[in-house]
Amino acid sequence: MKDLRSLDLPELTQALKDLGQPGFRAKQIWKWLWQKGARSWEEMTDLPKDLRATLESEFHFQPTRIHAAQRSSDGTIKVAFELHDGFKIEGVLIPTSKRTTACISSQVGCSLDCRFCATGYLKRDRNVTAAEIYDQVHLINQLALENYGKKLDNIVYMGMGEPLLNYNEVLRSVSLITSPDALGMSPQRLTISTAGIAKMIKKLADDGVRTHLALSLHNADDAKRSEIMPINQSNNLDLLAEALGYWAEKTGERPTLEYTVIEGVNDSIEDEANLARFARRFPSKINLIEYNPISLADYKPTSRLMDFALGLESQKLIVNVRRSRGKDIDAACGQLAGKLQ
């Protein structure tokens, strides 16, 4: 049987016609799937029972479920999602006084081996489908409503995996999340974060993707960046600067440079100067992130975070300091390791 949620609307319409059903039934089903998050035929109460029985014999659902959830002292909620084949991924609900954000995963594990990131020590088992990405958003949105009485404001593709190595499914998920026929969120509420795959950054621009873009930079010296992010060996800083400049010119948007400041690794005055030079090569803004320790690596947070920020600001760069949320439950940036049971 086909996975019902792997079909786009024209494919679903044709499948219904092949069963002798009118086209409007496809739109009914589509609404149940992507606006209401239906998980079974029984929920689709405006479909005739005999039709539901027929469809159940032709298609199957592969829904994602919440396997476990853990709440931080600051209100952050980490969620382990179990996929239909038993694999698990993690996502995070991050509430603040101003907004509610979902951090979602695009792969089961990761293949990029970033030294400071817990997910980088996992193997990549498979890509996550668009429907499974949608499920994370739908289920985290339900948690936001249940726990904080408000819907999600923002979605960041910053969980487990590299989104641009799962390009087609990530873009299909963006369509499902932003389409008026589905969740209907503005693409400006979404941020795709990448460790830096230059040709795919350009493809995002050419494909007219209207989300925000963030680069996990973490060092602006090629040799030093390659030590902590092996992806830099094939996608060096010159290639990334060219791609980000292309993206900025095509979209009119400033990409964000994500820079986790780690003691003795990338927090020196020289590192600050390197970052400033790189950030000036194209329109950009900088997010400085406090490092969140993991048991797999012997790195420490810097004591120079604010000095680092002030030094960049004095050079007229746009800088934000991001304080971590959910550190006490290993839900902060770089800590997702698939251990929540």
Per-residue pLDDT at 1 exceeds 90: no
When pLDDT is averaged across residues 102-131 and rounded to a whole number, the result is: 95
pLDDT at 323: 80
Q: What is the mean pLDDT of residues 100-117?
A: 96
Mean pLDDT, rounded, for 46-60: 93
Q: What whole-number distance in Å separates Cα of residue 5 and Cα of residue 210?
A: 24
pLDDT digits 0-9 by tens, 221-254: 999 999 999 999 999 999 999 999 999 999 999 9
Is 333 a catalytic site residue?
A: yes
* CA-closest candidate to residue 133, choices 205, 185, 208: 185
What dihedral do alpha carbons 78, 84, 85, 88 form, nearest 10°?
A: 0
Where do the H-state alpha helices sit in 123-253? 130-148, 167-178, 198-206, 222-228, 237-251
Interval 32-52 mean pLDDT: 93
Average pLDDT, the chain: 94
pLDDT at position 202 is 98
The residue extents of the domains of the chain are: 2-60, 65-329
Q: Is 39 exposed, middle or buried (0-12, 13-18, 19+ CB in 10 A)?
A: middle
In the chain, the percentage of residues whose pLDDT exceeds 90 is 89
Question: What is residue 324's predicted lDDT score, i.e. its pLDDT?
Answer: 76
| CATH number, span 65-329 | 3.20.20.70
**Could you read off the pLDDT of 21-30 as tens digits, one per residue?**
998 999 999 9
330 has which bridge partners? none
What are phi and psi for residue 11, nearest 5 degrees? Answer: -65, -40
User: Of 110, 114, 117, 333, which one is the catalytic site residue?
Assistant: 333
Residue 310: enclosing H or E segment and its boundaries? helix 305-313
Q: Which of 108, 188, 195, 102 has the alpha carbon at shortest distance from 151?
A: 102
Q: Which pLDDT tens digit goes with each residue over 73-86?
A: 999 999 999 999 99
Which pLDDT score is estimated for 328?
72
Question: From the candidates 11, 43, 90, 270, which is the catalytic residue?
Answer: 90
Single pTM value for the model: 0.95
Cα(25)–Cα(53) distance, rounded to whole angstroms? 14
Provide the b/e sequence for 8-25 (b: ≥16 CB within 10 Å).
ebeebbebbeeeebeeeb
**Under DSSP, is residue 214 helix (H, G, I), strand (E, B) or coil?**
strand
Task: Tell me the pLDDT tens digit for each residue of 310-329.
Answer: 999 999 999 999 887 777 76
Q: Kindly state the tokens that stand for 287.
A: 């997010």
Please, which residues bridge with residue 202 across strands? none
CATH of 2-60, one of 2.60.40.10, 1.10.150.530, 3.40.50.460, 3.30.360.10: 1.10.150.530
Grade residue 331 by pLDDT with cuts at 50, 70 and 90: low
DSSP 3-state assignment of 150? coil
pLDDT for 86 equals 96
Q: What is the mean pLDDT of residues 186-196?
A: 98
Q: Is the pLDDT of residue 271 over 90?
A: yes
What residues are paired with 148 via a beta bridge? none
Q: Is-contact 209 218, C-beta < 8 A?
A: no
Average pLDDT over residues 127-136: 97
Active site residue 117: no
- Per-residue pLDDT at 339 exceeds 90: no
pLDDT at 108 (0 to 100) = 97
What value does the mean pLDDT take over residues 114-128?
94
Say which residue the tokens 């790195």 belong to: 299
